[in-house]
Amino acid sequence: MKKILTIIFILLGGLIGSVVGEACVGVDGLNWLAIGGTVGFKDPIVLTCMSFFEITFGLWCKLNIGGAIGIILFAFLSDKVLKWVKI
């Protein structure tokens, strides 16, 4: 249970950090939070085996500096919260 909650905290931190980073694009002095890139396959890979069966693979991740800071911050925060809740 503790590992699942930690993963949820880390994903939430990445999401919130990325949103904050994208929101800081036009703000002087905070533009650096939006620097980042994407990794993965934007166009899915399709494997067609039969006329009625198809498998599609696709995965990509967009991360900026704000998201990375959010992940690190929420990873430390999750440890503190889980100790406080005694899980």
Q: Tell me how far apart the alpha carbons of residues 22 and 13 are, in angstroms, rounded to a whole number.
A: 14
The number of domains in the chain is: 1
End-to-end alpha carbon distance in the chain: 8
Over residues 56-73, the pLDDT tens digits come to: 888 888 889 999 999 999
> In the chain, what's the furthest Cα-to-Cα distance?
55
Q: What is the pLDDT of residues 9-36, one digit of tens each?
A: 999 999 999 999 999 988 888 899 999 9
C-alpha distances in Å from residue 1, one per residue of 4, 15, 71, 80, 83: 5, 21, 19, 15, 13
Say what the pLDDT of residue 74 is: 93
Domain hosting 65: range is 2-85
pTM of the complete model: 0.77
